[in-house]
Amino acid sequence: MDEKQYLIDALSISESWRVFRIMSEFVEAIEELSEVKRAVTIFGSARATPEDKYYVKAEYLARLLAQKGFSVITGGGPGIMEAANKGAAEAGGTSVGLNILLPLEQVPNPYANLRINFKYFFIRKVMFVKFAVAYVILPGGFGTMDELFEALTLIQTRRIKSFPVVLMGSDYWRGLVDWLKNAMVAEGNIAREDLDLIQVLDDPEEVVRHIQKFVIL
């Protein structure tokens, strides 16, 4: 066997074993999260500071959710994620951080009382949606948008059971919602009723009431 063929075969074996690592991460995460009930997944910028108004709102929202018997899941990092984990933990609730190692920004926050570390991004994303009874999306960047539109796609295509998707912060989201109406709907790329999958709210207490309409505790 020449060196080139040996390297090809070695790479093939390595890729095959990767499947088992993926399976293992799925199994471990599902086992860890199996006892987490009525979880609201909260997303938002990793760059928000404690002085940011959305950090304050996320912390208060998570505290209210914990007091109402909900668990809170975040990406486990800083910013909005930290705020939500802090609010839930300090209210005595289940505060879950699904952490992933990234070259920028993603350092685990100290407030998650259940923390799971992920190697694979896509497995982590499955866990967010699998264990959620609602999504709350605060202002954020590409990662936040990714989670928002993935959830909307899965609900729209009926790959998952519909759940509330709340955009929190009308000033921040107004431009996006207008674009969905004036571009996507206007050009027939989504149906007008697809916009009903999104609720835009500002007040944390109103967000909790909205979620409670769809979730039986």
Question: Backbone phi, then psi, for 45, in 5-degree steps?
Answer: -65, 135
10 and 59 housed in the same domain: no
Residue-wise pLDDT for 62-105, tens only, equals 999 999 999 999 999 999 999 999 999 999 999 999 998 766 65
89 and 58 housed in the same domain: yes
Count CB neighbours of 39 within 10 A.
Answer: 22
Query: What SS3 state is found at 135?
Result: strand
Closest CA to 190 of 159, 160, 141, 149: 149
User: Do 66 and 96 touch, CB atoms closer than 8 A?
Assistant: no
18 and 61 housed in the same domain: no
Residue 7: the pLDDT is 42
Question: Backbone phi, then psi, for 163, in 5-degree steps?
Answer: -140, 165
Indicate whether 217 belongs to any domain. no
pTM > 0.85: yes or no? yes
Query: What SS3 state is found at 134?
Result: strand
> Residue 21: pLDDT above 90?
no
Q: Residue 22's domain spans which residues?
A: 1-34
Check the CA dihedral 180-186-191-193 and report its sign: positive
What rounded mean pLDDT belongs to the chain? 91
Indicate whether 174 belongs to any domain. yes
123 and 72 housed in the same domain: yes
User: Do 102 and 79 touch, CB atoms closer than 8 A?
Assistant: no
User: Do 88 and 136 touch, CB atoms closer than 8 A?
Assistant: no
Residue-wise pLDDT for 155-204, tens only, equals 999 999 999 999 999 999 999 999 999 999 999 999 999 999 999 999 99
28 and 135 housed in the same domain: no
Q: How many domains does the chain have?
A: 2
Count CB neighbours of 187 within 10 A.
Answer: 8
28 and 42 housed in the same domain: no
Which amino acid is residue 1, in one-letter code? M
